[in-house]
């Protein structure tokens, strides 16, 4: 899939009117958190299986929450309509979380770390703005978990039951494996242990939907790759074992950046939002599920109809 990103211009932020950082954690001490959208599932039965499940893997501070929030922002602000799926257990909580995601990212606020031993589940419907009848709405269920939980599988360890229930269920799963530009060399073995875990759960690695995402690419000094071989060279050098898995099983790969990040006394803040890599990953996700590109130009007759309509 192409990673061309010339079509989008970064969005600029005003430093005023800052919002408090988005948090997935409960407050303790009598102050209730008013936006805790955690949907726990401690049983082996997963409800509402009629969806395309997207599972994020990555260690703490690898950028999973940032990638999720910016993908959702791109899908809803550039590519179509994204709304909570009615009839799911967490419809109201999903609406609250989406609202917080969008308002915070608009202000340049980064999401905080995800709560340990819980699965943040977002059941959504994505309706593309593409007019072709081939480009249909799809159900998307995003699953995000704490990086600390992923560390538990090192050296043959086991996941928390809330995560196990999803990995063991017979549901369509897409895996977004996230590693950071500055810590990728530390994640190589753990990523392979995770892929080993999927094989133990009888996932066919040659048919499973997996993409490796190198986050925080802006730490390289650039917002994009200098040439077509730069990402491959980085993965070969820093993630040598993962590179072999990618080549053997035909996994996808891409880089990711949220834009310019500024550090201050109040923590990190986005000063210039870049949605170009969110566009690439979102389009990959849609096409990998539907087998049609999100920007599909339409059938021959649709193209004629569109050209006449646009005159």
Quick check: is 267 in a domain? yes
Q: Residue 268 belongs to a domain with what CATH number?
A: 3.40.50.300
Q: pLDDT value at position 117?
A: 60
Q: pLDDT value at position 92?
A: 78
CA–CA dist 276, 10 (Å, integer):
8
Residue span of the structural domain in which 131 resides: 11-309
Nearest to 148 by CA among 58, 35, 251: 58
pLDDT tens, per residue, the chain with 311 residues: 444 444 444 443 344 444 334 433 444 444 444 544 444 444 446 767 789 999 999 888 888 889 999 999 999 999 999 999 988 877 777 788 888 888 888 888 887 666 666 778 899 999 999 989 999 999 999 988 877 777 777 777 777 778 888 888 889 999 999 999 999 999 999 999 999 988 888 888 888 899 999 999 999 999 999 888 999 999 999 999 999 999 999 999 999 999 888 877 767 888 888 999 999 999 999 999 999 999 988 776 666 666 656 65
Indicate the SS3 state at residue 83. strand
Quick check: is 301 in a domain? yes
Quick check: is 4 in a domain? no
Buried b (16+ CB within 10 A) or exposed e, 107-118: bbbbbeebbebb
Buried b (16+ CB within 10 A) or exposed e, 2-18: ebebeeeeebebeeeee
Q: pLDDT value at position 135?
A: 95
198 to 155, 170, 252: CA distances (angstroms): 14, 13, 17
CA–CA dist 98, 11 (Å, integer):
19
CA–CA dist 113, 94 (Å, integer):
17
The residues with which 177 forms a beta bridge, in sequence order, are 57, 212
Nearest to 192 by CA among 179, 180, 174: 179
Angle between helices 64-74 and 276-290 (to 10 degrees): 80
Nearest to 206 by CA among 253, 254, 250: 250
Quick check: is 1 in a domain? no
What is the total count of domains within the chain?
A: 1
CA–CA dist 173, 140 (Å, integer):
10
Indicate the SS3 state at residue 20. coil
Q: Which spans in the chain are helix H?
A: 64-74, 91-106, 147-151, 161-168, 184-200, 230-238, 240-249, 276-290, 300-309
Q: Does residue 251 contact residue 208 with C-beta atoms inside 8 Å? A: no
Quick check: is 6 in a domain? no
Quick check: is 112 in a domain? yes
CA–CA dist 295, 140 (Å, integer):
18
CA–CA dist 115, 111 (Å, integer):
12
Alpha-carbon Rg of the chain, whole angstroms? 19
Quick check: is 3 in a domain? no
End-to-end CA distance of the chain: 31
The continuous run of DSSP H or E covering 123 comes out as strand 120-128
Nearest to 184 by CA among 226, 222, 223, 235: 235
DSSP code at position 78: I
């Amino acid at each position: 899939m192409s990673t061309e990103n010339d079509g989008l211009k970064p969005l600029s932020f005003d430093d005023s009117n800052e919002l408090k950082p988005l948090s997935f954690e409960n407050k303790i001490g009598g102050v209730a958190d008013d936006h805790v959208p955690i949907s726990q599932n401690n049983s082996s039965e997963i409800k509402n299986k009629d969806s395309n499940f997207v599972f994020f893997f990555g260690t703490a501070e690898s950028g999973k929450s940032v990638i999720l929030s910016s993908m959702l922002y791109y899908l809803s602000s550039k590519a179509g309509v994204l709304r909570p799926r009615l009839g799911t257990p967490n419809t109201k909580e999903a609406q609250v979380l989406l609202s917080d995601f969008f308002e915070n990212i608009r202000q340049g606020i980064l999401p905080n770390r995800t709560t340990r031993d819980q699965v943040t589940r977002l059941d959504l419907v994505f309706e593309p703005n593409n007019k072709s009848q081939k480009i249909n709405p799809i159900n998307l269920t995003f699953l995000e978990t704490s990086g600390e939980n992923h560390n538990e599988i090192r050296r043959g360890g086991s996941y928390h039951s809330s995560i196990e229930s999803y990995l063991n269920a017979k549901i369509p799963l897409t895996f977004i494996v996230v590693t950071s530009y500055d810590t990728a060399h530390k994640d190589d073995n753990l990523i392979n242990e995770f892929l080993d875990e999927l094989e133990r759960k009888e996932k066919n690695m040659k048919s499973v939907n997996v993409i490796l995402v190198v986050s925080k690419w802006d730490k390289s000094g650039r917002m994009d790759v200098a040439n077509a071989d730069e990402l491959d060279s980085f993965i070969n050098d820093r993630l040598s074992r993962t590179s072999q898995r990618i080549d053997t099983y035909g996994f996808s790969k891409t880089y990711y950046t949220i834009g310019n990040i500024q550090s201050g006394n109040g923590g990190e803040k986005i000063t210039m939002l870049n949605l170009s890599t969110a566009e690439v990953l979102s389009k990959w996700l849609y096409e990998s599920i539907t087998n049609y590109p999100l920007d599909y130009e339409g059938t021959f007759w649709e193209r004629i109809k569109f050209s006449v309509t646009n005159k």
